[in-house]
A and B are shown apart, each in its own frame.
Chain A
């Protein structure tokens, strides 16, 4: 590979690593379209994206484990429930494909889902009373049918509720054809009341397992470009360290705000791409790519800026106390 391309991949990996370590999402969501734009085939783009996400999340999961932010029991239940749900979601898509409008329905569902979750999280982040739960979240958390499982970080939750949420997220994941990280994190936070840092850590753990399995399946058919994965990983393993460390420094409300900004940016980008493809407006596809990468760059920059500001603030407070 050309040294310039390697450098670009390392820089891109660094950016994705920061987002991944911080939010527990943003891997294949960004890598796969980038590889498609660079001329890789769709199978290779997806396979390479999965292998990269697996490598990045593997290290991120180790870091979150070190910080005590992975709930393995919850993660295991989520993996089981999601696996079953994904099959159900795929069945819906196959049925729609036979009717001939799967692409349009999936794109619209993607836009609505990203937008709705983004607005929900944004409203929550902007709420003045941070302890006040949304009525829907409270209603879900009030569902209290035994047996219960204890959560890392305190509290316990109904096993049935946990499995129902995992199944629901799995159905959406299979329907939308995505890893589910951006759905699982808010589902755990709002549906189960898991603390944000533990939700991110457990989400990363789930992504590691599913990413590893996906990478293996694509590699069986030779659809993983290892030099690309190696270059991206060189940047992302560093970025993921920064991102996961930042979750311990930056305020939980700020995390939610950045997460919402990413989701809303993604929603608008998918909508622009769909409209562009449907009506043959090429500029909208470019707008879509700029939106995806622009929002990723801005949000990663905001994470770094807020982390540095918080460190400076802590230092000033410590100095004033001396």
Chain B
């Protein structure tokens, strides 16, 4: 995935750990934005109006 397999040993391990952190951070940003946009409406929907 993304050429990580072509690396070897420590470089591959570091790239994988970095990829996991990168994906987690990007997802966190996306979900934070989503929470701001849709959060109040969703809370209102589940708690009843």
Spell out A's residues near B (CB within 8 Å): 51, 54-56, 58-59, 62, 212, 215-217, 219-220, 222, 224, 226-227, 229-230, 233-234, 237-238, 241, 308, 311-312, 315
One of A59, A215, A217 near B28 (C-beta < 8 A):
A59
- Across the interface, which residues of B come within 8 angstroms of A56, CB to CB? 24
B7-46 interface with A by 8 A CB criterion: 9-10, 12-14, 16-17, 19-21, 23-25, 27-28, 31, 35, 43, 46
B44 to chain A, nearest CB (A): 9
Q: 23 pairs across A/B with beta carbons < 8 Å?
A: A51-B16, A51-B20, A55-B21, A58-B20, A58-B21, A59-B28, A62-B28, A215-B16, A216-B13, A216-B17, A219-B12, A222-B5, A230-B23, A233-B27, A234-B27, A237-B24, A237-B31, A238-B27, A238-B31, A241-B28, A241-B35, A315-B47, A315-B48
B35 to chain A, nearest CB (A): 7
- Across the interface, which residues of A come within 8 angstroms of B35, CB to CB? 241
B19 to chain A, nearest CB (A): 7
Assuming the contacts A220-B9, A220-B10, asked whether A308 and B24 have C-beta atoms less than 8 A apart, the reply is no
- CB-nearest residue of chain B to A51: B20
- CB-nearest residue of chain B to A234: B27
The count of residues in chain B whose C-beta lies closer than 8 Å to any C-beta of chain A is 24
One of A62, A219, A237 near B16 (C-beta < 8 A):
A219
- In the bound complex, CA of A120 to CA of B9 (Å): 44
- Across the interface, which residues of A come within 8 angstroms of B14, CB to CB? 216
A294 to chain B, nearest CB (A): 24
- In the bound complex, CA of A222 to CA of B13 (Å): 8
